[in-house]
A and B are shown apart, each in its own frame.
Chain A
Amino acid sequence: MTDAPLLDVRGLTVEFETDGERLRAVDEVSFAVRGGEIVGLVGESGAGKSLTSEAILGLIPCPPGRVTGEVRLRERNLLALDEAALARIRGKDIAMIFQNPTASLNPVFRVGDQLHEAMALHLAEPRPTLRARAVEILTRVGIPSAATRMRDYPHQFSGGMAQRVMIGMGMSCVPSLLIADEPTTALDVTIQAQVLALIRRLARESGTAVLLVSHDLGIISQMCDRVLVMYAGRVVEEASIATVFRAPAHPYTRALIDCLPRTEATAQLGTIVGVMPGLRALPPGCRFHPRCPIAEPRCTKETPALRALGSGHRVACHLASNGAP
């Protein structure tokens, strides 16, 4: 792992123009991912985490969207590239898998063919080699009888198996970064565990960095090295896993952790009053202040910037300090 980050996101902003209004769904998001790291992006629905990951790969239709800022993959700014250049990067340097694997697979083509095509786009190897590789990949992701299964169609795969196929496709060209957007939300618990274990194992084995987007703090805590907490379009906290669960600094992070039902007995679940604001009704100052138990007048006027709290620990809160209230 070198010191220069693999992916460097600076001031990423995503806006949408609709009905004459301009709404900002992702607001000046900045973070970095180092080679081989597994970074989690956590937040509730509407926080902007999926949009952030889609913006990185240029998947947001513009118009009506508008993406500004910098997304540097090694030294190149992805936002400045044209579609052709981006297409060369997608699948090869950065791969992405989504929540619903069957939506990402073409139902009228055999799975083996789709896997083969994905590789043929980026790897200049002869067909038989790629075919053999495809079987090898399917086996590696845990699909039994891979050679036979290559000839099956997507609908013949269960959700978990289909997601394994997607992971196989994503890792087929050994990308430097894999973006996984809620990859297991639609899967059963035991299958989810298998799929996550697979992602983690493959990533570690090939040194691929992972950006894991999820709303599930439990998954994040077991999968990731570091985590970014998003709220209403902004990053409110960034820390290592150990730190964020031992000493969360942002009130939202703390509340989120409290809300989790555990498998030990608890009398009452912590709650957060209210709901995350919609894009049309963003509060001034700190966006969390209407729901924050320790909000002060300052919080309603000044938007807190992300500042360093310790090594690798950043918080966007006026009142946070290490080991704070």
Chain B
Amino acid sequence: MTALLEVENLTKHFTVGDGLVNRLAGRRSTVVRAVDGVSFAIAPAETLGLVGESGCGKTTTGRLVLRAVEPTAGRIRFDGEDITALRERALLPFRRRAQIVFQDPYTSLNPRMPVGRIVGEPIMVHRLAARGAVPERVTALLEMVGLQREHAGRYPHELSGGQRQRVGIARALAVSPRLIVADEAVSALDVSVRAQILNLLIALRERLGLAFLFVSHDLGVIRFISHRVAVMYLGRLVEIAPAAELFRRPLHPYSQALLAAIPTVGDGRTSMFDQPGRLIEGELPSPMNLPRGCRFASRCPQRMARCREVEPALVSAAPNHLVACHLYGDENNGQGAAAPVSLRPPGPEADTAL
């Protein structure tokens, strides 16, 4: 099955401190390697969860995939077409097929536009309906996301956070995209509203065959909505696996640490916080001053000498389960089975638990 989205060695470096004053003062600028050689693929109607903590580059990756940010290096292929270097005008067809849902319902909608126009704008830009037919389309979209026809005349500030997020989803759906990048789409919502929106997204993807790149820091949400999960740390992918597999058997020490750190609902007798050694220590190294070798080595409870020297490549440790860790690559003299450059998503027989 051909992948819908294929990302190869995607890289984004930000230069910091190269303004005029700094240059005059003779200070060297530093490079922040926000996204550093990330490769993955998403199949049609598949949801890939992209998870990691702040500074890992997941949000930037989501933006890169949509060409909202220009990549420093790497390739992006959508539906077989290389869109990495296309100019804005040539990107218009792509903009119809890939959309975004933002995190903050309070700033993602134009406060001076009524909902109907917000949702209708993409339809008009891409001339997907005759002028007179637009209100009908808008009503259909609003109803699809659980709102009513009347909402079209309201302004964003008259709606609740959950309702605004629904409007954002309707806007994304207006062009009938095949891929949606959800950038922390439920993180700003209350728990009960979050659940409503997640259920809505699942219903929509089933109905419309949507693929998602679901970026989030919340592992519970990721587990719930993703078919496969990719874990990022400091700009690189450290593990990719089907969701159930990752949560059942995380291989990378960072994934293990992440999962161990989530406060799940316990039994009230023992507390995870009373168990020393269970929780990982240390802080993220500065992204401007990356250590040599594995980026996680400074905090890794299982680090070896190699880890400080050589950066591990993403290798296959189990079927459909890739890890970037020396613990799993040593049998090939540290070379590891190099990950195939375009990572095929698993076929229908893989464990995609839902």
Extra A-B contacts (11), CB below 8 Å, given A260-B220, A263-B259: A44-B191, A188-B217, A193-B273, A201-B273, A218-B265, A221-B266, A222-B264, A222-B272, A256-B191, A257-B265, A262-B223
A266 within 8 A of B: yes
Q: Which residues of A contact B274 (CB under 8 A)?
A: 197, 200
* B-side interface size class: 35 or more
Q: Which residue, B194, B218, B221, B273, has most C-beta atoms of chain A within 10 A?
A: B273
A84 sits at the interface (CB 8 A): no
Which of B202, B258, B263 gathers most chain A CB within 10 Å? B263
CB-defined contacts of A189 to chain B, threshold 8 Å? 53, 217, 219, 258, 261-262
A313 CB, min distance to chain B CBs, angstroms: 13
Q: Which 3 pairs, one residue from A and one from B, show the smallest C-beta to C-beta distance?
A: A242-B268, A241-B268, A261-B220
Q: Are A256 and B219 in contact (CB under 8 A)?
A: no
Residue of B nearest to A275 (CB): B160
Answer whether A265 and B279 are a contact pair too, CB < 8 Å, given A44-B190, A189-B219, A217-B265. Answer: no
A224–chain B nearest beta-carbon distance, Å:
9
Indicate if B73 sits at the interface (CB-CB under 8 A): no
CB within 8 Å of A: which B182-234 residues = 190-196, 198-199, 202, 217-221, 223-224
Asked if B271 CB lies within 8 Å of chain A CBs, one says yes
The answer to whether A271 and B268 touch (CB under 8 A), given A192-B261, A222-B263, is no
Q: Is the CB of B283 within 8 A of A269?
A: no
Contact B221 A261 (CB under 8 A): yes
User: Which residues of A (55-106) have their CB < 8 Å from a CB of B?
Assistant: none
- Known interface pairs A194-B281, A271-B199. Does A200 touch B271 (Cβ–Cβ under 8 Å)? yes
Interface pair A272/B192, CB less than 8 Å apart: yes
Whether A193 and B261, one on each chain, are in contact in the complex, defined by CB atoms closer than 8 angstroms, is: yes
- Cβ–Cβ contact A255 & B192, under 8 A: yes
Q: Are B264 and A263 in contact (CB under 8 A)?
A: yes
Q: How far is the CB of A23 from chain B (nearest CB, A)?
A: 18
User: A residues bordering B, Cβ < 8 Å?
Assistant: 44-45, 158, 160-161, 188-194, 196-197, 200-201, 215-219, 221-223, 240-243, 245-246, 255-257, 259-272, 275-276
Flag if A260 contacts B271 (CB, 8 Å): no
Asked if B271 and A218 sit within 8 Å, CB to CB, the answer is no
* A260 near B265: Cβ-Cβ < 8 Å: yes
**Does B244 lie at the interface of the complex (its beta carbon under 8 Å from any beta carbon of A)?**
yes
Once the chains bind, are A190 and B266 in contact (CB under 8 Å)? Answer: no
Which residue on chain B has the smallest CB distance to residue A266?
Answer: B224
Among A191, A196, A255, A263, chain B packs the most CB atoms within 10 A around the CB of A263
Q: Can you list 17 pairs linking A and B with CB atoms under 8 Å apart?
A: A190-B279, A191-B53, A191-B283, A194-B279, A201-B273, A216-B263, A222-B273, A259-B195, A260-B220, A261-B198, A261-B223, A267-B354, A271-B199, A272-B192, A275-B190, A275-B192, A275-B193
- Which residues of B are in contact with A by a Cβ distance under 8 Å? 53-54, 160, 162, 190-196, 198-199, 202, 217-221, 223-224, 244, 247, 257-269, 271-274, 279-281, 283-284, 353-354
A218, B261: Cβ atoms closer than 8 Å:
no
Give min CB distance, A146 to chain B, whole Å. 15
Q: Roughly how many angstroms separate A255 CA and B193 CA in the complex, as a whole number?
A: 12
Chain B residue nearest to A278 in the complex (CB): B160
Is the beta-carbon distance between B195 and A188 smaller than 8 angstroms?
Answer: no
Determine whether the beta carbon of B261 is less than 8 Å from that of A223: no
Question: Out of B53, B267, B268, B353, which one reaches A188, CB within 8 Å?
Answer: B53
Contact A197 B198, beta carbon cutoff 8 Å: no
Question: Once bound together, how far apart are the Cα atoms of A266 and B217, in whole Å?
Answer: 19
- A242-B267, A265-B354 given as contacts; is B192 within 8 A of A190 (CB)? no
Chain A residue with minimal CB distance to B219? A263
Check A262–B261 contact: CB distance below 8 A. no
Cα–Cα, bound, A218→B244 (Å): 21
Residue of B nearest to A161 (CB): B283
Distance from A237 Cβ to chain B, minimum over Cβ atoms (Å)? 15
Q: Pick the residue among B190, B198, B353 that contacts A215 (CB under 8 A).
A: B190
Q: By the criterion CB–CB under 8 Å, are A261 and B224 in contact?
A: yes
